[in-house]
Amino acid sequence: MDERFPIGPATITLSLSPEERREALEALRTLPVEITGAVAGLSDDQLDTPYREGGWTVRQVVHHLPDSHLNAYVRMKLVLTEPEPTIKPWSEADWAGLPDSQGDIRPSLELLSGLHARWVSLYGSLSAPQWARCFVHPQLVAAQRETGAVWARAFNADEHGRVNLDQLLATYAWHGRHHTAHILKLRQRRGW
């Protein structure tokens, strides 16, 4: 098993069936409880252990989740209020290196919980035409996608880097499960 992808790499389709949407929304809804359970009882030394050699620490992973998911939530709001907005990419590695990613994980767990409650509610309010609305991700333009990061190649964006709300939902449902599995696999390997 590749420790980078404990549940396998993401494969994102252009649209989700109603059942796939329900499953993805359930994954978003339950992530805060699942990640909180995954880190329950860990000491500071354990939180500061990388989930794999050369990888982030458990603490950085926990802080990364609300950072990443808040960016996705804002992207969704932009999609719903602007015609095909071009989003601003961010450097997850640089953010993970900031001092707040070394602190207490409780504020990040609380942020994730509130964020996901609002995000699931917003997704639940969408009309059929809204699901097809798109944003443009400059790192997903075809010419850049081939040489970009692994995550960029997982998207099924068109040649212009368009991503719709089904794709966004599927991505972040996978993303939460992906990082929860990093922590659970580490605990299993270490006998924690």
- 49-85: per-residue pLDDT in tens? 999 999 999 999 999 999 999 999 999 999 999 999 9
DSSP label at residue 1? -
Judged on CB neighbours under 10 Å (0-12, 13-18, 19+), 54 is: exposed
Q: Does 175 appear as a known binding residue?
A: yes
Contact 148/139 with Cβ under 8 angstroms? yes
* CATH architecture observed for domain 18-190: Up-down Bundle (1.20)
Q: What is the mean pLDDT of the chain?
A: 91
Q: Provide the pLDDT for residue 147.
A: 56
> CA angle at residue 49 from 47 to 55, to 5 degrees?
120
Mean pLDDT along residues 130-140: 90
Q: Is 137 annotated as a binding residue?
A: no
- How crowded is residue 63: how many other Cβ atoms within 10 Å of its Cβ? 26
Q: What was the pLDDT predicted at 2?
A: 83
Decide if pLDDT at 98 tops 80. yes
> What was the pLDDT predicted at 10?
84
| Rounded Cα gap, residues 149 and 66, in angstroms | 20
- Name the band, by pLDDT with cuts 50, 70 and 90, for residue 116: very high
Which residues, 6 or more positions from 192, have their beta carbon under 8 angstroms from its beta carbon?
A: 41, 42, 46, 186
pLDDT at 142 over 80: no
Query: Is the CA virtual torsion 96, 164, 131, 18 positive or negative?
Result: negative
Instruction: Give pLDDT, residue 33.
Output: 99
Give the count of alpha carbons within 13 A of 121, CB side only: 6
Domain boundaries, the chain: 18-190
150-182 pLDDT, tens digit per residue, is: 555 566 666 668 899 999 999 999 999 999 999
Q: What is the pTM of this model?
A: 0.91
